[in-house]
């Protein structure tokens, strides 16, 4: 059966493509303490399995975007899934934390294709607020993965050990690759394909980098996601290591953040019809700032798991509001290089998150403040950029 644009099944499939990224990071989060114990590694080294994955995930997008603008979405997506599956199963045979970091990096190089190309497919078919609505629906579907993955990962680890989580990731990738091979039609017509010559690619990237509209949306997406990744990279050490939660209890707490994200995505899909992209982003920025500073106040006043989990639900709500709309705003002016525009956004967004992850990972072993302070800062920056953008529009 072919996947038809506009159908619920098509939307679910695109949401599943974007879920490859969060699945690859969130599913094994409850296993991080066990992985550290298995390899006698410290918190910083273990956290590098996350940051290295994000670096590979980000860097690979710079390649996949232009290649898909030249050769189409389907063949590039299939090549990426092949690498992703190989990286997942390589993780089963590692003998040290360094080897696991390398396997995760290889896995990420393959996984970057599905996310960047899912957004490019949306831009092939939609633009403006319609693209924002579609991306918001995909984000709501994708949000189910962070809600369930840590809980499922905790159960799998308790029953079969941490390596079995990588088997599950590889199986998920194999199913999606089969759907692409058998049911997905190409969305980029030959008439719109671009040159893949290095000079042409650099010209396209330069065009994006000097465009102020693109840079504003890029900054919003990057700062908001960096705060979310501060929680992703540090929360297992804070909630399990400092506050003593079990892997399953931690997974439930993580699911509450994902529930906020899903609610924000669904709300954003409705708000964008009334407020437009910039208006919706301003609302999301306010919630990001509120969530970050609420967490900071809670940590200073009465540190507890509740002081972390309740505010991160607000921050997750803000991410759900802002991320799809920022992506739609960034991609809409560039239909002929949608893959390249999506790739650069994904690269810089993930690069910012990786830097935040390294900082948080080296500080949360003894205190929650590096994670919480980072979330408060990124929430404030997100709000500041959205307000600045709105005021510029009003003048």
* 360-381 per-position pLDDT tens digit: 877 776 788 999 999 999 999 9
pLDDT at 39: 92
pLDDT at 138: 85
The H or E element spanning position 34 is: helix 32-38
SS3 state of residue 72: coil
Q: How far is CA 28 from CA 170, 227, 354, 366, in A?
A: 13, 20, 17, 22
Q: In terms of Cα–Cα distance, which of 285, 11, 215 is closest to 130? A: 11
Q: Measured between alpha carbons, how far is 61 from 203 in angstroms, rounded to an integer?
A: 17
pLDDT at 252: 82
pLDDT at 393: 44
Burial class (CB in 10 A: 0-12, 13-18, 19+), 202: exposed
pLDDT at 390: 47
Low-confidence ranges of the chain (pLDDT < 50): 390-395
pLDDT at 248: 77
pLDDT at 217: 93
**Matching residue, tokens 């900071």:** 296
Q: Measured between alpha carbons, how far is 150 from 142 in angstroms, rounded to an integer?
A: 14
Which token pair is 349? 């967004």
Q: 189: Cβ–Cβ under 8 A, 6 or more apart, which residues?
A: none
Q: Measured between alpha carbons, how far is 312 from 294 in angstroms, rounded to an integer?
A: 9
């Amino acid at each position: 059966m072919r996947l038809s644009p506009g159908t619920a099944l098509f939307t679910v499939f695109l949401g599943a493509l974007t879920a490859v990224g969060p699945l690859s990071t969130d599913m094994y989060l409850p296993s991080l303490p066990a992985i550290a114990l298995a390899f006698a590694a410290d918190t910083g080294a273990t956290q590098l399995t996350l940051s290295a994955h994000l670096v590979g995930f980000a860097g690979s997008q710079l390649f996949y975007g232009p290649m898909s603008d030249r050769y189409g979405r389907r063949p590039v997506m299939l090549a990426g899934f092949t690498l992703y599956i190989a990286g997942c199963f390589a993780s089963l045979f590692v003998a040290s934390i360094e080897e696991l970091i390398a396997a995760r990096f290889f896995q990420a190089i393959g996984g970057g294709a599905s996310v960047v190309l899912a957004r490019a497919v949306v831009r092939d078919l939609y633009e403006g607020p319609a693209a924002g609505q579609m991306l918001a629906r995909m984000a709501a579907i994708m949000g189910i993965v962070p809600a369930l993955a840590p809980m499922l990962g905790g159960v799998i680890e308790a029953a079969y050990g941490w390596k079995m989580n990588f088997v599950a990731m590889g199986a998920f990738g194999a199913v999606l690759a089969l759907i692409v091979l058998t049911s997905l039609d190409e969305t980029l017509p030959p008439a719109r394909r671009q040159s893949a010559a290095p000079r042409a690619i650099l010209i396209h990237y330069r065009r994006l980098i000097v465009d102020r509209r693109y840079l504003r949306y890029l900054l919003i997406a990057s700062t908001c996601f960096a705060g979310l990744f501060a929680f992703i990279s540090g929360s297992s050490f804070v909630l399990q290591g400092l506050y003593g939660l079990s892997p399953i209890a931690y997974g439930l707490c993580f699911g509450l953040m994902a529930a906020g994200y899903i609610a924000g995505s669904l709300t954003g899909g409705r708000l964008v019809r009334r407020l437009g992209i910039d208006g919706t982003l301003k609302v999301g920025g306010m919630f990001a700032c509120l969530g970050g500073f609420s967490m900071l106040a809670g940590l200073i006043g009465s540190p507890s798991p509740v002081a972390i989990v309740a505010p991160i639900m607000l921050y997750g709500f803000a991410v759900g509001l802002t991320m799809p709309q920022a992506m739609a705003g960034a991609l809409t002016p560039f239909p002929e290089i949608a893959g390249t525009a999506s790739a650069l956004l994904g690269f810089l967004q993930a690069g910012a998150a990786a830097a935040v992850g390294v900082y948080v990972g080296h500080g949360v072993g003894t205190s929650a403040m590096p994670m919480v302070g980072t979330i408060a800062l990124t929430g404030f920056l997100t709000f500041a950029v959205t307000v600045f953008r709105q005021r510029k529009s009003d003048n």
